[in-house]
């Protein structure tokens, strides 16, 4: 359930039973600066509440296991994540790890151990980007091994998520830019493959892409514009809530590669996607030809003209859009040596025998070439 609009944090009082013992989780402190913490506290009233703060961006297993300890010791019955995707993803892990009966909850990520039970959870989402507020997935990092892995189970989907666009007013521009790009690429990963289904799924995807392209400037403008922020927040949720993937083949190679870049170099999630994506679609442009042509026409209004390479123009338009909102698209923008990154990531994916893409035909050697071009 999504509860959307101004002042909706107060609804926590209706949505959570008085009897719950709640673990409220949050990140590095943004909720204390923008008034969200106060609103949550007021809404929860006299309920029994324990807090766990300090969940970092790209939440780590090491930190989250401390919250698992607290949750077990205090026998909490409900988890409320307040913050961005990292806090919510971390909380999904905590929800699965508290009742986990195996030896090591990391197995949930590294060995696909089954989520048999989970503590119920909900969120107050303050950063539109990941779609975590309406999906069952989470991405967790492990400092000690420089890994970043995902897992998911519908038992981990939030029972409800409160989305108040006003909570986004305090976001720094780089986080908004990141959120727009992450949402955009979530759609692309589910859209830009090959034609398979009746037109409705494509039209849903295109609606989100076009909205983000058209509204990005208003979303980033100061002072914050409620309608633009509401559009942004709703687009991010729609981009990865399970709707677009119904009945279509999905790609997710960019995410798979991007997580490795974050694991090794610490870049923000969306920053990695913007580096990988243009290089990846250029590399796969023949296989993705039909959808790229459709994308060129429907999102950017480009059409075939003699002497023009429409595919290249569509990829270029995507890069120009990212640059317009301040998002770099090259390793060199971060001072990272592309060759070193390409080698490290290829070697790791070889160890895991990874195959990526909608055809499962992007092998570690292809990833190397894609990254060398980035």
Give the binding site for ligand NZQ (CB under 6 A): 27-31, 34, 57-58, 83-87, 89, 126-127, 129-132, 135, 137-139, 167-168, 170-171, 175, 178, 182, 240, 255, 269
55-78: b or e for each residue (b if 16 or more CB lie within 10 Å)?
bbbbbbbebbeebbebbeeeebeb
Pairing outcome for strands 21-25 and 2-4? unpaired
135 makes contact, choosing from Zn ion, ligand NZQ, none, with CB < 5 to 8 Å by partner type, with: ligand NZQ
Closer residue to ligand NZQ, CB minimum distance, 240 or 292: 240
329 contacts: CB under 8 Å, gap ≥ 6: 274, 275, 278, 319, 322, 323, 374
Classify residue 50 by burial, with Cβ atoms within 10 Å: 0-12, 13-18, 19+: middle
Are the CB atoms for 94 and 68 separated by under 8 Å? yes
Smallest gap from Cβ 184 to ligand NZQ, in A, equals 11
Give residues with Cβ within 8 angstroms of 185, minimum separation 6: 254, 255, 270, 273, 274, 277
The CB-of-363 to ligand NZQ minimum distance in angstroms stands at: 22
Q: Are 209 and 300 in contact (CB under 8 A)?
A: no
Of 35 and 316, which CB lies nearer to ligand NZQ in the complex structure?
35
Number of residues that bind Zn ion (CB under 5 A): 1
Q: Minimum distance from CB of 228 to ligand NZQ (Å)?
A: 15
126 binds, among Zn ion, ligand NZQ, none (CB under 5 to 8 A by kind): ligand NZQ
Q: Which is nearer to Zn ion, 182 or 358 (CB)?
A: 182
Closer CB to ligand NZQ, 237 or 329, in the complex = 237
* Residue corresponding to tokens 């295109």: 206
Which option in ligand NZQ, Zn ion, none does residue 256 bind, with CB closer than 5 to 8 A by kind?
none
* CB-nearer residue toward ligand NZQ: 167 or 211: 167
d(CA 334, CA 288): 29
- Closest CB 302 distance from ligand NZQ, rounded Å: 27
CB 83 within 8 A of CB 55: yes
d(CA 185, CA 175): 15
Residue (91 or 300) nearer to ligand NZQ, CB: 91
In the complex, residue closest to Zn ion by CB: 182
Q: Which of 89, 164, 182, 313 binds Zn ion (CB under 5 A)?
A: 182
Enumerate binding residues for Zn ion (CB under 5 A): 182
């Amino acid at each position: 359930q999504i509860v959307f609009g101004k002042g909706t944090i107060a609804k926590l009082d209706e949505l959570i039973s008085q009897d719950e013992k709640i673990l409220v989780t949050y990140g590095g402190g943004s909720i204390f600066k923008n008034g969200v913490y106060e609103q949550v506290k007021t809404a929860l009233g006299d309920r029994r509440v324990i807090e766990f703060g300090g969940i970092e961006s790209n939440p780590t297993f090491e930190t989250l296991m401390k919250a698992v300890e607290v949750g077990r010791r205090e026998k909490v019955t409900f988890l409320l994540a307040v913050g961005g995707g990292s806090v919510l993803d971390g909380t999904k892990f905590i929800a699965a790890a508290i009742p986990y009966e195996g030896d090591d909850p990391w197995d949930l990520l590294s060995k696909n151990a089954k989520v048999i039970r989970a503590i119920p959870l909900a969120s107050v989402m303050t950063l539109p980007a990941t779609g975590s507020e309406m999906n069952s997935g989470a991405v967790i990092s492990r400092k000690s091994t420089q890994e970043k892995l995902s897992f998911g189970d519908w038992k981990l989907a939030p029972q409800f998520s409160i989305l108040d666009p006003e909570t986004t007013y305090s976001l720094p521009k780089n986080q908004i830019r990141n959120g727009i790009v992450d949402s955009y690429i979530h759609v692309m990963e589910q859209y830009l493959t090959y034609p398979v289904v009746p037109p409705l799924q494509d039209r849903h995807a295109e609606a989100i892409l076009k909205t983000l392209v058209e509204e990005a400037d208003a979303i980033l403008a100061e002072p914050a514009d409620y309608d633009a922020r509401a559009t942004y927040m709703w687009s991010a949720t729609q981009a990865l809530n399970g709707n677009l993937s119904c009945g279509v083949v999905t790609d997710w190679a960019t995410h798979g590669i991007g997580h490795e870049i974050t694991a090794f170099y610490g870049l923000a999630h969306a920053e990695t996607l913007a580096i990988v994506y243009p290089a990846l679609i250029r590399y796969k442009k023949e296989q993705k030809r039909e959808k790229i042509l459709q994308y060129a026409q429907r999102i950017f209004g480009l059409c075939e003209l003699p002497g023009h390479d429409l595919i290249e123009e569509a990829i270029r338009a995507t890069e120009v859009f990212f640059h317009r909102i301040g998002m770099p698209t090259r390793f060199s923008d971060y001072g990272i040596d592309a060759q070193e990154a390409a080698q490290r990531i290829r070697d790791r994916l070889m160890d895991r025998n990874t195959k990526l893409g909608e055809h499962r035909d992007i092998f570690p050697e292809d990833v190397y070439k894609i990254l060398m071009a980035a």
